[in-house]
Amino acid sequence: MKKIGQLDRRVLRRTEETLVSDVSLIASEFLAGFQAVQRIDRPAVSIFGSARVLDGTATYDHARATGKAFAEAGFAVVTGGGPGVMEAANRGCQDGGGLSVGFNIELPHEQGSNAYIDIAYTFKHFYARKVCFVKPAEGFVIFPGGFGTLDELFEALTLIQTGKAQNFPVVLIDTDYWGEMLDWIRAELLADGMISPEDLELLHATDDLDEAVRTVIECYEANCAEIPMEPRKADAQ
């Protein structure tokens, strides 16, 4: 597994001697990822959250219930394919008879594939994987998680804010978990003019799983994701 980290560091560090082979490797990974996305034959939601959440906890149960609700509504569920929240959402999707998708990543620790996936692809590079989370998505639903979950959250917000992705809903589950972050965003980012008031409207925080599912589905049915935000140059810096 040590070679996995070495490969990523090499791609980011070197420029000359491995340029052609590195670009070819990344291009082939994008192609394989896009081919996996093409197999998704229905609207999809991407669900994120910690790999460290255990079966039997409230967060696991809520992610499973959410995955099932989306499946019953005719949506595919896309996750990172690993354990924790990802497993729960994929498992719930299969509980509901839906199409369960897992886009995994090779890591030196923590990230084995879960057993509840119908369409699977394992990436070597995070950036190719991230594109395939966004490409089929009609919305993101985000459960409590760590750095990886925050990375997906803020990347989605940046893509939407700058008009690089559709204006799809980003729903945060568990207001207690996300509340202090949202308070900080209002008190610091908004107060200091680092974001605009309408940027806050990109985030929907709730404890109601039905509301979370409904937010994504109603946006899909109303085609609201097709209405882009007006990109603001200062926000993209």
Domain boundaries, the chain: 2-236
Kindly write down the DSSP assignment for every residue of 30-92, as one continuous string: HHHHHHHHHT--S-EEEEE--TTPPTTSHHHHHHHHHHHHHHHTT-EEEE-SSSTHHHHHHHH
**Tens-digit pLDDT string for the chain (237 aa):** 445 556 566 556 655 567 788 888 899 999 999 999 999 999 999 999 999 999 999 999 999 999 999 999 999 999 999 999 999 999 999 999 999 999 999 877 656 789 999 999 999 988 899 999 999 999 999 999 999 999 999 999 999 998 888 899 999 999 999 999 999 999 999 999 999 999 999 999 999 999 999 999 999 999 887 665 555 444 444
- Res 20: pLDDT: 81
State residue 1's pLDDT score. Answer: 44
The residues pairing with 120 across neighbouring beta strands, listed in sequence order, are 102
Q: What does the pLDDT read at residue 12? A: 62
Q: Residue 158: exposed, middle, or buried by beta-carbon count in 10 A (0-12, 13-18, 19+)?
A: middle
pLDDT of residue 7: 58
119, two tokens: 């369409």
- Residue 33 in contact with residue 123, Cβ under 8 Å? yes
* pLDDT for residue 236: 44
How far apart CA 198 and CA 209 sit, in angstroms, is 24
The whole-number pLDDT of residue 237 equals 42
Give me the CATH code for the 2-236 domain, please.
3.40.50.450
- Structure pTM? 0.87
**Which pLDDT does position 19 carry in this prediction?**
79
